[in-house]
Structure 1
C-alpha cells in the first residue's frame, strides 16, 4: 500500500498524534484534531473564558495588551474570550479583582461644590453662637465648627478666627479658650493638630486660613477636628465618630 506522508494532519491531542486525512480544526483553540478528538471536551481544550462588563474589560485591555480578546454578544453584558492558557487567564482575572476593589477617588468625599453649599448653610447658624478674639474686623472673620479631642468629651464649639492667622495660631487660641493641654511647643510625643472633618486630611500648621480658603480646601462655615496625634499623622481616620 502506498504511503502519502504529505497528506493529512496529525492530531494535536498529546496521547493520540494520529495521522488523519480528514482532520478538524477546533473553533476555540484553532488546533487540528482527528475525528475522535475534534470536540473541545474530547481534547481538554485550553481556551478559558473570562466575563467582564464593558467598563471592566476596557480597563483590563489597557493594562494587559498581551491578551487576545474576542467579543461575543450576551444579554445585559459583554462576553470576552481570553485566548490564553491557565496562567495568563488567572492574571486577567486578578487584574479584574484589582479594578473592582480599587476605591473611587471620590469615595467618602463630597464634591467641592457640595461642601461649599453645606458650609454656607452652617455659617448662618455659626454666626449666632460663635466666639472668638474681640477686635477682629468682620470682613476678616472665618467661622469654623471645632470638634474637640475625643478624650475631653466636650461638644463641638463654633468659633471665628482672622483669615490672616495660621492654623498653628488657631490651635493655640482654641486650646487657651477651652483651657485644654497644649504641648505643641514642647518635646511631647503627641501634638494638637487640625484636620478637615469631611476628608480627615491634615491642615498644615504654617499656612494661613486665607490661603486655604483660596484653594477651597476649607470654607467659612467648615467643620474641622482638633485632636492629639503623633507628629507623623497626616490623615485622621473615622472622622464620622466626631459628632456635635
Structure 2
C-alpha cells in the first residue's frame, strides 16, 4: 500500500525561510520569531531572524548552542554538558575532568601500591634472569666443547701438553679440532691451522686476501702479533672455543 503526502496533511512542516520552503518531518521552532525551520536554517544567522534584538541573549549567533570551554575547541552542542567539578560546558571529547584539567580533578590513587611494587620487582628480576650471561656462558660452553674435542684434536707433536690450547676450527674443509701452543703468535697459529686443515694460505704474499681467524664476527687480523696466551688470559678466547678460518681482504 502506498501512502501519499495528501493522505498525511499534518505530517511535517515547510521551512519558514522563503527561499527554502523544504518540508521537514522534524521541524525546529525558533525561540525568537516562533517560526518553524528545517535543520539547515534553524540558527538565527541562517534565516536572518528579525526578532533577535540587542537585549536578547546571544550565544555566538546560534540558537540553543553551547560552545565547548576547552581552549581552541570550536565544537558546539545543542544540549549543555556541564562538568560537575567546574560547572563549565564541554563537548563530548572534553567532558571528563581529566581531559580538560578540571580544578576539582584528583588523580586516582594507585590500587594496592605495595602489591604493585612487588609485581614490578618480580618483573625486573625476570628480565635480568632472561638476559644472556655472555662472558660466563661463552667460557662454560668452551669447557664443554673442550672435553669433546680434546681427544680428536690434531697439531704438532712437539708441543708439550701444558702448552696446548685447543680450538674447533670451522673452515672450507669442515669443522676440525686442532691445538696450538699458547706461546705462539696469532699469525703463527693461523699458518699452523691452515696447514693442518689443508687450506691454501698466501699470508706470506703481498696485496692478496689474508687468511684469518674469526671469533664470531671479530677478526683477529689486527692481533697477528699477539700471543695465544694473551687472548686466553684476557678471556677474549678460551681453550675449546670455536673459531672460523676464512679469507679477509685488508685495506
TM-score calculated relative to the size of structure 1:
0.49
Higher strand share: 1
Larger RCO (CA under 8 A, 6+ residues apart):
1
Structure of larger gyration radius: 2
Higher helix share: 1
